[in-house]
Structure 1
Amino acid sequence: MNTPLNPPSLAEAINAKGFSHAAGFRIVAVAAGSAEVSLPRRDDLLQFFGHFHGGVITALADQAAGIAVTSGLPKGRIGVTVEIKVNFLAPADGNELVARAKTLKMSGSIGVAAVEIFTRKDGTETLCAFCTATMRALDLPAEYR
């Protein structure tokens, strides 16, 4: 495909307001078909015994998958979630969550991404969740084109 890729600045614009901004998601890296997004630990993001809440982990994975798929789409298109599945593998008890997403396949307007979510504690990363997400490519709202 010879069309230009969505710029990494698009991810910043998407992350600048709404839930992603309020949650504190931080974009670490964006490349064509991949993204890394992190989230520092805060008390309001934890469940009752001190681990990151599963909903927070899922939201972070969803954001990373959306950015990964969007980064590989032609300009003027964005990936939005059709389906997401998360497997929780270990307690997310670290100081930070890190989601690393990679687009596995784009076919027409449908893309599938895989996301590994790690919890970071004392310089060590532990895989705490794995996600697959299906995204549909839609036209961006005019303000972002």
Structure 2
Amino acid sequence: MNSSLNPPSLAETVNAKGFSHAAGFRIVNIVPGHAEVALARRDDLVQFFGHFHGGVITALADQAAGIAVTSGLPKGRIGVTVEIKVNFLSPADGGELIARARTLKMSGSIGVATVDVFSKDGATETLCAFCTATMRALDLPAEFR
């Protein structure tokens, strides 16, 4: 791993606070420019038909995109969302969501990432959403440096 980039432990630290922690996001894998984040199904995360709520899917995609971009940034920088767009492709009715993000382009302080979100039921994965996110690189708050 490139020691001049943010370590995967930064994502774990950020994920352990606030909404991400409360929602139950679980980091599966991080390599520079890529992230995989999962979320187990719970009754409080679904809508009235029993599918994962679109807001939950969007939040998971946003987190994965931010981690992917941040993982390829120099130490002391973090990617924050400027814009996010999600296309919902099929109902997310599995036991778990998996978001796989990759950084498409980082230019100066702006980066673009894509995220495929899958609804996983046992060994079967169904693509349920596709996301593009624009991120801005900012200095990390002092508490995370």
TM-score by length of 1: 0.98
Q: Which runs of 5+ in 2 are unaligned?
A: none
C-alpha RMSD of the superposition: 0.9
Q: Counterparts of 2:5 and 2:64 in 1: how far apart (Å)? A: 17
Q: Counterparts of 1:122 and 1:64 in 2: how far apart (Å)? A: 22
Partner of 2:50: 50
Aligned residue for 1:50, secondary structure, equals: coil
Aligned residue for 2:51, secondary structure, equals: coil
Q: Counterparts of 1:66 and 1:130 in 2: how far apart (Å)? A: 15
**1:122 Cα deviation from its structure 2 partner:** 2.7
**Residues 118-138 of structure 1, C-alpha deviation per residue, up to 9 Å, x if partnerless?**
000131000000000000000
Aligned residue for 1:105, secondary structure, equals: strand
**1:43 Cα deviation from its structure 2 partner:** 0.2
Tell me the matched-pair count: 144
Q: Counterparts of 1:78 and 1:37 in 2: how far apart (Å)? A: 17
Partner of 1:64: 64
| Runs ≥4 residues deviating over 6 A | none
**1:3 Cα deviation from its structure 2 partner:** 7.0
Partner of 1:110: 110
Partner of 1:86: 86
Aligned residue for 1:60, secondary structure, equals: helix
Partner of 1:41: 41
**1:72 Cα deviation from its structure 2 partner:** 0.2
Partner of 1:129: 129
**Residues 27-76 of structure 1, C-alpha deviation per residue, up to 9 Å, x if partnerless?**
00000000000000000000001000000000000000000000000000
Amino acid at match of 2:77: R
Partner of 1:74: 74
Amino acid at match of 2:50: G
**Residues 103-124 of structure 1, C-alpha deviation per residue, up to 9 Å, x if partnerless?**
0000000000000000001310
TM-score by length of 2: 0.98
Q: Counterparts of 2:3 and 2:98 in 1: how far apart (Å)? A: 30
Aligned residue for 2:29, secondary structure, equals: strand
Report whether the alignment pairs 1:29 with 2:15.
no
Partner of 2:139: 139
Aligned residue for 2:130, secondary structure, equals: strand
Amino acid at match of 1:81: T
Q: Counterparts of 1:83 and 1:110 in 2: how far apart (Å)? A: 11
Aligned residue for 2:74, secondary structure, equals: coil
Aligned residue for 1:103, secondary structure, equals: strand
